[in-house]
Each structure stands twice: as structure tokens, then as C-alpha cells.
Amino acid sequence: MKRPHRIFRCFRLFTPQPEKVRTCIRVEGSRIRELLTAAEADRIREAEQIDLRKFLVGPGLVDIHCHGAMGSDFADGTVEDISAAAKYHLAKGTTALLAGIGSCRLKEMQKACRTTRNLMKEIPNLAGVHLEGPYFSIQWFGCHLREMIRNPVRREWIQLEKDADVIRLVTLAPELPGALEFIRHFRKTGTVFSIGHSDASYDEIEKAADAGLSHSAHYFSAMPTARRVNRVLLPGVRESVLLSDRITTEIIGDGIHVGGRLVEYLYRFKGPKKTALVSDALRGVGCPPGDYAFGPRNGKMCRLLDQPRVGVVPDDPEKLASSAIVLSDSLKILSRETALPLGDLWEMASLTPARILGIDRRKGSIAPGKDADFLALDRQLQPGKVFIGGTLVPTEGNEK
């Protein structure tokens, strides 16, 4: 039976930018048909009416850098773990998500890719896989297991080619031997490449951009700054990313990895269209404070603190690990901690990451022809209702 037209009536609508006139969304099936004024919506009597006027409504969020929740990490690779983490983030407003796989063995990467591919048919917010590592600088591996860090050797990465359909994003250090060949080869399949955990020079980053690298991971985190070479101060990864118009970037939106003033600083350089917000969520999201493995269950142990609520490396607690937020938390946190408009923050958490991945024809904004993915926030900017494909997502019973 064909689903009837539904009209979502909103008072404050972000598309992601504020829309003051056409605040009603007409949905047919799972897609947005058109935006209407309230008067136009009143004339469509046969449509089901969904009242969201007490909420702030905008596009569902797109998280391109997320590792898990509810005690599960996507790198665990099981149906149960990937499902639990993806569904938790969906209930909090993330309607498109890359399953982030930290540095691990090849067979663990392959298992996570296969499981994710199978689950994409039934878990609607799973949009693919992000391989964060293992091809990193040994000087900048962060909370990843040191023994997993290695160079991108062709005989290994060529075995990932059969999973290229789900590998949407790869973060690596492009200065490593073999990295440029890896980038060139997988760019042909549509994989996006990101610089991260790298010690590359400006020239090495430019060569990587020539090869197809177009993004940069968690700005300020595991990212070296300018240094002197033969007494000359030269750009590090931070400055090189700012200088390149070809490279987008992302911020962990917890207000801790990057404080409010530095979020504004990066925003001035890159703007909302080239700066994505990400969660970089640890498996401990939704769980009590305690120790949680990063990556597979045999990964490096990270400690989730309560005050401030963030992940740290236990033997070096000044070193941050992943975050303890979901992406919708970043809208509330950065609305409080910065002077950035909510519309720009919403764009940085929805349309910008969708563009980075090349899925913006379907995701990231409220416009005719796009998927009817909506996040409705209450006045405290907490998730109230979430819709994916026009269907309400259950939101109760998500906390441990």
C-alpha cells in the first residue's frame, strides 16, 4: 500500500539555514516532495499532519568520524556491536553514519567491512566504513595501538579492494611510502582520503592532494604545527590544511578537544562549507565512566572521565582519546561555547559532511527530492524526535 503524503508542520525550520516562510515539509514515501507555507499546507486536506511546532527542526545529522557507543566499537565487527552502536547514534539524531574502524589487523578490517555491508540493508543510518588507520606516522598515532601502526603496503591494501564499495573514507599519513599509490588506486572507486595522524610537510600534502586527498581528520588533534628546518619556519600539517583550498576539515564538537575560541578561529579560515563537525565517539558513549578499549576489544585502553566528560589515555591522562558525545550534542555545546549561528553549526553537522562524502544529493539538507531525514530539538537543544525516511525513530531505552 502506498504511503500517504505527510506534512511536517514546523515553527522554526533549519534547512540547515533558517527558513522563515516555507516551514512545512511535504513528504511522499521516504522523500521530501516540497516545502510549503502554512497556508499552502492547510489546503492539502488528504495529507497526514505531523505537528513539530514546539521543536527546532532541521536535517538529520551526518557523522563521518564515529567509533561506537553503548560499550560497542564498530571495529568489533560483529552484527551485535555494529547494530548497537549505529542504532544508538540514530536515536540521537545521526541519520547517516560512517562506521569508524581504528587501527587493527587486515582481517579485522575486512570483517568489519563485511558486517557493515550486510547491515546497511537493515540499519538505515549506516552509510559505509571509515578506516582511520593503520597507516599513520609512528610519531602521531594518538590512542591507536602502536603495534598496529604500519606503512600502506600494496600487498595488504589491495586485499581491501573487494570492500571498496563500503569504504567511503580513509584517514592516513600521506608521507608514508606507498601512500600516494594507495590514494590514486582507491580514489577511482570513490573513496575519500583524509590526512590524519601525520607528520607530512606542506609539499608532501600538496602531492597527496594532487593524488586525490581532499579532507583532514580532527583538526588540532594529533596534528603537528609549524617547525623550523635549517632555521626556516615551515608549515606543519595544521598550517598546510589551512592554506589548501582543496582540503576540507573537521572538528570534534565536544568543546574539549577544541575549545570555543579555536572553533571560531578555524571557522574564520575554512567557513561552514569546508568544516564538518564530528563526534569521534568512543565505545563508552551512553555508558558510565570507566575504561573502554579503542578499536577492537584488544585495542588500546582509554578512560572515560565524568568531569570533564571525555576520553583520555590512562597512562598519560593529559592526552585525550576519543570523545564522549553524540553529534547532536555538538549543536548544544557549540551554541553555548561559540558565537557561531545555529544554522551554520547545523550545516557543519549535516550538509557539509554529506558534501565531503559526496552523498549530498540525498542527505544533509531539507530540500525537494532528498531523503526525509529530520532531527527535532527541544528548546534546550536536546533531541526530541528523529525521523529517517519520514519514519519516526524509537528513542526510549537507549541508556545503560
Min mean pLDDT across 42-46, 171-175, 278-282 is at 42-46
Q: What is the mean predicted confidence (pLDDT) over 94-119?
A: 98
What would the DSSP string read from start to end of 154-218? Answer: HHHHGGGGGGTTTEEEEEE-TTSTTHHHHHHHHHTTT-EEEE-S----HHHHHHHHHHTEEEESS
Range with lowest mean pLDDT among 39-48, 70-79, 155-164: 39-48
Rounded Cα–Cα distance for residues 99 and 82 (Å)? 8
257 to 136, 153, 317, 393: CA distances (angstroms): 20, 32, 13, 30
Q: What is the pLDDT of residue 105?
A: 97
Long-range contacts of 38-47, Cβ-Cβ distance < 8 Å, separation of 24 or more: 38/9, 41/7, 41/9, 44/5, 44/7, 46/4, 46/5, 47/4, 47/5, 47/6, 47/7
Stretch among 13-22, 98-107, 249-258, 315-324 having the lowest mean pLDDT: 315-324
pLDDT at 3: 57
Pairing relationship of beta strands 6-14 and 48-59 according to DSSP bridges: parallel
N- to C-terminal Cα separation, the chain? 38
Q: What is the mean pLDDT of the chain?
A: 96
Give the residue-averaged pLDDT of 84-95. 98
Question: When comparing pLDDT for 397 and 5, which is higher?
Answer: 5
| Cβ atoms of residues 250 and 214 within 8 Å | no
Query: Does 198 score more than 90 pLDDT?
Result: yes
Picking from 20-24, 193-197, 315-319, 335-339, which range would have the lowest pLDDT averaged per residue?
A: 315-319
Question: Of 272, 250, 389, 252, which Cα lies nearest the Cα of 342?
Answer: 272
- 215-258 pLDDT, tens digit each: 999 999 999 999 999 999 999 999 999 999 999 999 999 999 99
**How many CB atoms within 10 Å of residue 244?**
19
pLDDT score for 45: 85
Write the CA distances from 97 to 47, 50, 83, 221, 346, integer angstroms: 31, 26, 12, 21, 16
* Of 153, 151, 186, the residue nearest 172 (C-alpha): 151
Using one digit for the tens of pLDDT, what is the confidence trace for 132-165? 999 999 999 999 999 999 999 999 999 999 999 9
pLDDT bucket at 398, cuts 50 / 70 / 90: very low
HEC sequence for 312-357 = EECCEEEEECCECCCHHHHHHHHHHHCCCCHHHHHHHCCHHHHHHH
Q: pTM for this one? A: 0.96
- pLDDT band at residue 317 under the 50/70/90 scheme: confident
